[in-house]
Structure 1
Amino acid sequence: MTRDLMTSETKSKKKNQKKPILPLLIAGAGVLGVGGLYGSSLFKAAGQGIEKSVVIPKGAGATTVSHILERDKIIKSAFAFRTFLKFGGGGEKFKPGRYTLKDDLTLSEIAERLNSGPKAEEQLVRVTIPEGYTLKQIAEVMERKKICTAQDFLYLTQDAKGISQLRSEFPLPKETLEGFLFPDTYEFDRKTTANQVVEAMLTNFAARFTRPYLQEIAGRGKTLNEIVTIASLIEREAKVSEDRSRIAGVIENRIAKNMKLEIDATVLYALGKHKNRVLFADLRVESPYNTYRVKGLPPGAIANPGLACLLAALRPEKNEFVYYVARPNGAHLFTRTLAEHEQAKKQARKERRATA
């Protein structure tokens, strides 16, 4: 009996002595494994020092950030970066934002950059260009947003030498790009050049208009410059969507009848300033853009039209109207004869007095 107890007690002690050995072996293997990983190619630089842009979302943890860096080829392995963060720390301090990272940075350098936060010049600046803005207005926006100087922008859009430096999917006018910069919301970083800004807007014009409507443009019977010019006239004249294609029809009809277009917006463009009311003296300004003095279309666009006006110029309404007059609500009264036009002007004046 005593012998059996002693034997049992001895076995129990030996069993207890063996318990700590297994965890120690596992821990040791883990350390050796990590050491092996640190020495592997997964922990080495992913590329050749090429700068790449990467966005870290707000609230992103180590796992999400690791996958983003691997996806954008900043690192070779998301697993390796997570392992580095687990043993090196710092994965909980990542600051959200846009970063410019070279693909030859070490994991330690990457972690340090993400912990310190993005630099001011790495952040994107959102710029909205409204439909109907002129090149000068766009240049002012770009300078105000500190994307590029107005001078550099206008050199590339209003100077033949500057325009010749640009890349485009379609042939560019030689003298001015008025009308060909697509109004939209863009995002640029602080390193963006004036060339890149203009080319981005030209690319957008091609993507939104010339490419998808290529066959219609070719079958319109007018040059691309003429279509864009008509669209710009519509953009500055039409205040309600229903009037766009109808005004396009009026322009077609007046040109067909060899009538001057007599569009006030062209006078304002020739004057180079905005006015709420065009005076009789303004109509005498000498300019190829003054459609009160020159028959046919002006030599180019007077603004940068949006897609709706480009499509209206592409698909004018077939009508017999040759006159229109603005009403206080922004819509127009359209007429066929001069007598009807005089009556429409009286009606518009009456409506203005009633709303004054």
Structure 2
Amino acid sequence: MRTPLFFNYYAKMNEPDTIAPMETQTSPRPNYRWLWSLLLLAVLVVGGTMKWQKVNHPPSDFPVGKLILIPSGITLKEISALLEDEHVIQSQTAFTIRVRLKGAESHILAGDYLFTSPLDLASVMKRLMGGEHGIERLRVTIPEGTSVAGIGRILKGTFVQFDEEQFVVLAKENEGYLFPDTYFFFSNATSGHVAKTLMETFRKKTNALRGEAIMAEKNWSDIVIMASIIEEEAATAKDRRIISGILWKRLLKGMHLGVDAPFAYDIGKNSATLTTIDLKYDSPYNTYLYGGLPPTPITNPGLDSIDAALHPETSPYYYYLSDKGDTIHYAKTFDEHKVNKERYIR
């Protein structure tokens, strides 16, 4: 049976209304993460800057008036640690970074440094890289022909706190191999440093002559000993070469050298003060009694005397003497020599 239309209509009219749910839009919550990141970055930058500025400042206990030694041959890391330990800088890391940024790892100069006031990190770097030691340099001249003992006296007269005795002990075995010259040393120079400097200078200055001696198969030690005698026996380049020829010729002929200069080194007497008793003094430095060269150099000769010992001038002479005006008079025979003695000395 079909349902009447009005019943269908009635049923629909009584059905509950179905309402589609409305779409609701919720406002997004603000994302603060980027803000926090920015804030953290700012804090780090400010903190880092403040920390960097702090480590660049001199330490509160900066070593004013204290000598700081930067040893030769140590690494940048060791230098940085030393400076921090001595309270010259606050941070070895900061010092290392700054030095490397400047590409100056090998530009820091060794030596003693004296700081008279606190310096910031940049100023410390500048001092070390420029070798600005802050210590007065004193000029000292070592004349040619000065012995080790004589050099010690000169140095003591120049440097108030210089240890003369220690210098003589250190340098005595290198008599003849300390180069006479003008030097500039720090006022706090030590005996070891000065001795080393004079020996190194000798090696550098005489390197070519030593090479020449070796090529000529000549004994370098004998050359230096002879040069030390020539240095005391003659004052001019010409006389040095003639006397060199005479002395080498005497040795070649088996004669005694018979020179006065070694007495000054051995017993402190020169030609003017020697007596006949002194000439009999038993010592290997007495070339009137003993043949050959003295056992060691008697002075520290200059380059010209070394060159003269290496390049003697041939002459007919066997004898010579110096008058009161330091003029050299030569003789071919002993009789001529005696005549010169009467004429120029007595």
* TM-score normalised according to structure 1 size: 0.61
Of residues 177, 180, 183, the one that matches 2:177 is 180
Is 2:80 the partner of 1:48?
A: yes
Checking the alignment, whether the CA contact within 8 Å between 1:217 and 1:314 is kept in structure 2 is yes
Is 2:217 the partner of 1:203?
A: no
Is 2:326 the partner of 1:330?
A: yes
Checking the alignment, whether the CA contact within 8 Å between 1:74 and 1:101 is kept in structure 2 is no
SS in 1 for 2:174: coil
CA root-mean-square deviation:
3.6
Checking the alignment, whether the CA contact within 8 Å between 2:56 and 2:122 is kept in structure 1 is no
Counterparts of 2:123 and 2:201, CA distance in 1: 37
Mapping 1:252-331, distance limit 5 Å: 252-274=248-270, 276-331=272-327
Of residues 144, 147, 154, the one that matches 2:157 is 144
Checking the alignment, whether the CA contact within 8 Å between 1:261 and 1:291 is kept in structure 2 is yes
Residues 132-171 of structure 1 show CA distances to partners (whole Å, capped at 9, x for unaligned) of: 111111111222223631111111123xxxxxxxxxxxxx
Counterparts of 1:342 and 1:99, CA distance in 2: 62
Q: For residue 154 of structure 2, what is the amino acid of its counterpart? A: V
Checking the alignment, whether the CA contact within 8 Å between 2:176 and 2:228 is kept in structure 1 is yes
Where structure 1 has 5 or more consecutive residues not aligned to the other structure, the ranges are 1-35, 52-72, 78-97, 159-175
Residues 27-53 of structure 1 show CA distances to partners (whole Å, capped at 9, x for unaligned) of: xxxxxxxxx999989x948972668xx
SS in 1 for 2:306: helix
Is 2:129 the partner of 1:133?
A: no
- Give the structure 2 partner of residue 5 of structure 1: none
Counterparts of 1:139 and 1:242, CA distance in 2: 30
Counterparts of 1:235 and 1:288, CA distance in 2: 19
Residues 50 and 247 from structure 1, CA distance in 2 versus in 1: closer, same or farther, beyond 3 angstroms? farther
Quote the sequence identity (%).
Answer: 32
Per the TM alignment, residue 343 of structure 1 is displaced from its structure 2 partner at its CA by: 2.4
Counterparts of 2:268 and 2:320, CA distance in 1: 24
Per the TM alignment, residue 226 of structure 1 is displaced from its structure 2 partner at its CA by: 0.7
* TM-score normalised according to structure 2 size: 0.63
Per the TM alignment, residue 192 of structure 1 is displaced from its structure 2 partner at its CA by: 2.7
Of residues 235, 243, 250, the one that matches 1:247 is 243
Counterparts of 2:304 and 2:101, CA distance in 1: 46
Where structure 2 has 5 or more consecutive residues not aligned to the other structure, the ranges are 1-47, 58-75, 84-97, 103-111
Residues 261-281 of structure 1 show CA distances to partners (whole Å, capped at 9, x for unaligned) of: 110111222213456332212
Counterparts of 1:128 and 1:74, CA distance in 2: 38
Is 2:186 the partner of 1:189?
A: yes
Q: For residue 138 of structure 1, what is the amino acid of its counterpart? A: I
SS in 2 for 1:212: helix
Of residues 163, 170, 178, the one that matches 1:156 is 170
SS in 2 for 1:127: strand
Residues 313 and 108 from structure 1, CA distance in 2 versus in 1: closer, same or farther, beyond 3 angstroms? closer
Counterparts of 1:258 and 1:133, CA distance in 2: 29
Checking the alignment, whether the CA contact within 8 Å between 1:180 and 1:202 is kept in structure 2 is yes
Q: For residue 318 of structure 1, what is the amino acid of its counterpart? A: T
Checking the alignment, whether the CA contact within 8 Å between 1:125 and 1:189 is kept in structure 2 is yes
Checking the alignment, whether the CA contact within 8 Å between 1:238 and 1:247 is kept in structure 2 is yes
Residues 266 and 110 from structure 1, CA distance in 2 versus in 1: closer, same or farther, beyond 3 angstroms? closer
- Give the structure 2 partner of residue 6 of structure 1: none
Counterparts of 1:340 and 1:272, CA distance in 2: 29
Q: For residue 269 of structure 1, what is the amino acid of its counterpart? A: Y
Aligned residues: 250
SS in 1 for 2:139: strand
Counterparts of 1:74 and 1:189, CA distance in 2: 26
Per the TM alignment, residue 236 of structure 1 is displaced from its structure 2 partner at its CA by: 0.6
Checking the alignment, whether the CA contact within 8 Å between 1:133 and 1:304 is kept in structure 2 is yes
- Give the structure 1 partner of residue 72 of structure 2: none
- Give the structure 2 partner of residue 11 of structure 1: none
- Give the structure 2 partner of residue 219 of structure 1: 215
Is 2:307 the partner of 1:340?
A: no
Q: For residue 280 of structure 2, what is the amino acid of its counterpart? A: R
Is 2:168 the partner of 1:123?
A: no
Checking the alignment, whether the CA contact within 8 Å between 1:182 and 1:204 is kept in structure 2 is yes
Residues 39 and 250 from structure 1, CA distance in 2 versus in 1: closer, same or farther, beyond 3 angstroms? same
Counterparts of 1:105 and 1:316, CA distance in 2: 59
Counterparts of 1:141 and 1:76, CA distance in 2: 46
